């Protein structure tokens, strides 16, 4: 599978670096005073400074839970999921959907959680019990 690229709006570079570098442990790529790239679990994120960030819209429902649309995220191993959950908890980040098990004892069983970066962008992290069921 090839890495994806996603460009999105952030309030400022300093708080964006704090979230993606210090809390999530991403590596920093190229940057200017108006944008910065991150290695987001093998994918390229480009954060661009723009004060006009849309409000969250909880128009999606998955397994009975309201989720913000749009959002982005990544699929982690169970160990990575636990590590990110701990980092977010230690940094007192707000969970907009608390860590939980979805589709228990069913095909596609997965752990999931949603948080926001410091600019209010919703991010989902998930880990599948069986990675062969990611697309099934």
39-94 pLDDT per residue, tens? 999 999 999 999 888 888 989 898 888 999 999 999 999 999 999 999 999 999 99
Give the residue-averaged pLDDT of 88-105: 96
CA distances from 76 to 1, 30, 34, 119, 128 (A): 14, 24, 29, 23, 8
Give the residue-averaged pLDDT of 96-106: 94
Torsion of CA 106, 76, 7, 57, to 10 degrees: 40
The pTM of the full predicted model, rounded to 2 decimals, is: 0.92
In order of their start, the domains of the chain are 5-49 (3.10.180.10), 60-133 (3.10.180.10)
């Amino acid at each position: 599978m090839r890495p994806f690229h996603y460009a999105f709006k952030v309030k400022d570079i300093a708080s964006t670096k704090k979230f993606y570098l210090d809390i999530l442990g991403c590596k920093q790529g190229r940057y200017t005073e108006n944008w910065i790239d991150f290695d987001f679990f093998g994918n390229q994120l480009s954060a661009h400074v723009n004060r006009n960030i849309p409000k969250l819209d909880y128009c999606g429902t998955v397994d009975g839970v309201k989720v913000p649309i749009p959002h982005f995220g990544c699929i982690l191993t169970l160990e990575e999921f636990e590590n990110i959950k701990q980092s977010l908890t230690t940094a007192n980040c707000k969970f907009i959907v608390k860590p939980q098990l979805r589709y228990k004892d069913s095909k596609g069983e997965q752990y999931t959680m949603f948080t926001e970066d410091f600019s209010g962008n919703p991010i989902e992290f998930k880990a599948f019990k069986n990675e062969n069921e990611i697309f099934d």
